[in-house]
Amino acid sequence: MKIFGNKKALAPIAIAATLAFGQQPANAQGLFDMLFGGGIRHNPQGEFPPPPKQRKIRPGTLDGEGGGARISSPTYNTYRADKLVRVDFKSLLPAPPPATAQDAVFMPSVTATAFRDAVSGLSDYELFAEPDVAKALIAYYSANPDFIWVSDNAPNSRAQDAVRVLGEAASYGLTPADYSVDIPAAVASATPQDRTKELVRFEMALSARVLRYAQDAQSGRVDPNRMTGYYDFPAKPFDLEGALKTLAHTQEVRTYLESRHPQNAEYQALRVELEALEASEENEIVVDPKLRLKPGESSPELPKLLTLISRNLNDEMGGNYGEVLARLGKSELYEPELVPVIKAVQQRAGMKGDGVIGPRTVALFVGSSKADRIGKVKVALEELRWMPSDLGSPRVFINQPAFTSSYIDNGEEKLKTRVVIGRVTNQTAFFYNQIKQVDFHPYWGVPQSIIVNEMLPRLRSDPGYLDRAGYEVTDSRGRQIPSSEVDWGAYGSKIPFSVRQQPSEANALGELKILFPNKHAIYMHDTPQKSFFARDMRALSHGCIRLQDPRGMAAAVLGTTVDDVAEKLKHGHSTENVTRVIPVYVAYFTAWPDLSGKVAYFDDVYDRDSKLMQALDATEAVRTPSS
């Protein structure tokens, strides 16, 4: 299968097949790695933070007797992009000839000699680039004083390929103007000196923009960790000098540059969706967004909604309900035969599937404009660049806006379950890690934020509350002490004690939890509050991921059966390590494809898309005056 080409049109059918049948995108990445030495390998690590060391609190201080002390949640920052710098070409200007032959290290070629002669044309050239790109340009050309993009006094085929790839940036949701470089035209009247100056400036501009493109493709245009403490992604180092060395010695410029993008099927499916959206027209069918309809009721809006549903049928839905929609698609009466259709549509979107048509069901098809959907796809493409190129198999993928968690193995979604995520005031972070263990009948280590913000006000007047409620209190040395013996009024936002809830039916974590140690103390777990899963909007927790099917997920990550998990639960508290490498993505995508390549759209629960758009706009503003 040809993965990349220079045509705008992609191959939706091939991509859908890749998603559906599990063709591993890692194979393509391995090829690129062999060719170019690229690729990022990250083994996420991390531990829960240790309990704070005990310290004396002076009476009257904010942390001492300040009854209103709280631990605040992370905030969102106004993103400020790094300013561009002018590339300083002084060190590239010709140096005096060496005193002896032994002092000469670099043996110039004919083109290298031409390059040295041309460098003087950079003396007054104003080229602006990112600081690391500017540094890499000077370092590379100081060690390798030769052209990459120019041969025989003209831009070479390598340059032509690079400029074409940069010009196709929009197909990846990038902004072509960020990478724009004009190829110098051959002008007969230009003097040799003018032509040389033009070519050496073209050389430097193209190298700068190629490096910007490659870095953007691999890591994204913004640093997510600077946006908010809710984002937690490891750096993806990129050898800028090494990239120029590779490009100087290969004719496969397109292959190299395109290999910097994520090589997973989800990224390709989002590109297909972006192309389809941009080629489509705005939806000409308008359905009342406030439509509410129960089985047996009538509305002239129903045929419009059924028409939109018919347009969006996948193969499975078409096989199951195509005949019913064809026969009853013009009906204004919500017939009983149409109820399974509506339920299937709702369930596919992660809703509870009650068959009642309301604003959320309508919004699945007409709730957002073409521009809104394009924006969500572009945001999703940017966010995927923050993650590993190869997402791994098996893996657990939690998509917060969809309120779902999936176990995916060998291209197949073996398990999909509803989840509850953090409230808007206790948002779930966006990060990835590796699953380490499953705890049966777990203890709940109460986060400091809950101790301070929710428990402490009661403990000041009722210090024995934790003893009666089945909690254990330990000091910084690990010694267990009665809650009633602690002077809780002496502490504010720095509590020198750890609190955990003992295993029980009332335990906040239910009968099991699945751990992937991280600084946010987030994990997946069971819950006694089963009724929450019946709701469509499930941002209701303190930040952890509550699972509707915890036993199924535990069995999946442990490589065993639900019956085996049930048997382990009969024997009280225990822990079992996960022996396989299973990455887990606690992700946030308002546009995301299923394994067939069909992209679904979700509400922006935490309003994070707008924050990312602000960061992208800030980056664009910095790049706009660049030359």
Q: Rounded CA gap, 225 and 232, in Å?
A: 6
One DSSP character per residue, 286-305 reads ---TT--B-TT-B-TTHHHH
For residue 222, CA distances in Å to 15, 549, 555, 574 come to 27, 36, 38, 43
Whether 493 and 457 map to the same domain: the answer is yes
Whether 554 and 456 map to the same domain: the answer is no
Question: Closest by alpha carbon to 435, among 544, 549, 528, 523?
Answer: 523
Residue 27: the pLDDT is 42
pLDDT in tens, 411-427: 999 999 999 999 999 99
Whether 434 and 543 map to the same domain: the answer is yes
Whether 192 and 207 map to the same domain: the answer is yes
**Cα-Cα-Cα-Cα dihedral sign, residues 122, 124, 128, 131:** positive
Phi, psi of 373 (to 5 degrees): -70, -40
For residue 510, CA distances in Å to 154, 406, 429, 597 come to 70, 20, 22, 35
Contact by Cβ (8 Å): 568, 555: no
In the block, tokens 């657990």 appear at 396
Residue 294: the pLDDT is 94
Q: What is the CATH number of the domain that holds 403?
A: 2.40.440.10
Residue 22: the pLDDT is 42
204 domain residue, yes or no: yes
253 domain residue, yes or no: yes
Whether 123 and 139 map to the same domain: the answer is yes
Q: Rounded CA gap, 460 and 492, in Å?
A: 11
> Residue 63: which residues within 8 A CB-CB, separation 6 or more?
57, 69, 491, 492, 493, 494
Contact by Cβ (8 Å): 449, 71: yes
Residue 107: the pLDDT is 46
114 domain residue, yes or no: yes
For residue 485, CA distances in Å to 59, 147, 494, 544 come to 19, 76, 18, 30
Whether 454 and 489 map to the same domain: the answer is yes
Whether 88 and 203 map to the same domain: the answer is yes
Whether 237 and 322 map to the same domain: the answer is no
In one letter, which amino acid is 136? A
Whether 481 and 583 map to the same domain: the answer is no
Q: Rounded CA gap, 164 and 592, in Å?
A: 28
273 domain residue, yes or no: no
Whether 510 and 498 map to the same domain: the answer is no
Residue 299: the pLDDT is 95
56 domain residue, yes or no: no
612 domain residue, yes or no: no
Task: Copy the structure tokens of residue 234.
Answer: 């490891």
Last residue of a domain, one of 212, 233, 261: 261
Number of domains in the chain: 4
28 domain residue, yes or no: no
Whether 252 and 350 map to the same domain: the answer is no
Last residue of a domain, one of 206, 233, 261: 261
412-422 and 545-547: which strand pairing? antiparallel
In one letter, which amino acid is 484? S
233 domain residue, yes or no: yes
Last residue of a domain, one of 348, 365, 382: 365
Residues of the chain with pLDDT under 70: 1-69, 95-113, 187-189, 283-284, 366-367, 625-627
Contact by Cβ (8 Å): 430, 586: yes
Q: Give residue 487's domain range.
A: 444-502
Whether 253 and 109 map to the same domain: the answer is yes
In one letter, which amino acid is 181? V
